[in-house]
Amino acid sequence: MDWSAFLPPVIVSVKVAVVASIIVFLLATVVARVMANCTPRRGTSVIETVLLLPLVLPPTVVGFILLILLGRKSWIGTAFESLFQQTIVFTWGAAVVAAVVVAFPLAYRTIKAGFEAVDPEVEQAARAQGANEWQVFRHITMPLAYRPLISGYILGFARGLGEFGATLMLAGNIPEQTQTLPTAIYTASEVGNMTLSWSWVAVIILFSFIMLMLSNRLVKE
pLDDT in tens, 188-207: 999 989 999 999 999 999 99
pTM: 0.91
Count the helices and strands in the chain (H runs, E runs). Answer: 12, 0
Long-range contacts, 29-33 (Cβ 8 Å, 24+): 29/111, 29/149, 29/152, 31/108, 32/108, 32/111, 32/112, 32/114, 32/115, 33/115, 33/137, 33/141
Crossing angle between the packed helical segments 3-37 and 181-190, to the nearest 10 degrees: 140
Give the pLDDT band of residue 3 (cuts 50, 70, 90): confident
At 213 the pLDDT is 86
At 220 the pLDDT is 64
Contact 159, 145 (CB under 8 A): no
Tell me the per-residue pLDDT of 55-87, one tens digit each, with 9 for 90 and over: 999 999 999 999 999 998 899 999 998 998 889
**In this structure, how many other beta carbons lie within 10 angstroms of the beta carbon of residue 83?**
8
Distance of alpha carbon 183 from alpha carbon 150, whole angstroms: 28
* Residue 1 vs residue 73, higher pLDDT: 73
pLDDT at 211 over 80: yes
Average pLDDT in the 91-110 region?
Answer: 95
Distance of alpha carbon 110 from alpha carbon 52, whole angstroms: 12
Average pLDDT in the 129-143 region?
Answer: 90
Distance of alpha carbon 143 from alpha carbon 149, whole angstroms: 10
Contact 15, 151 (CB under 8 A): no
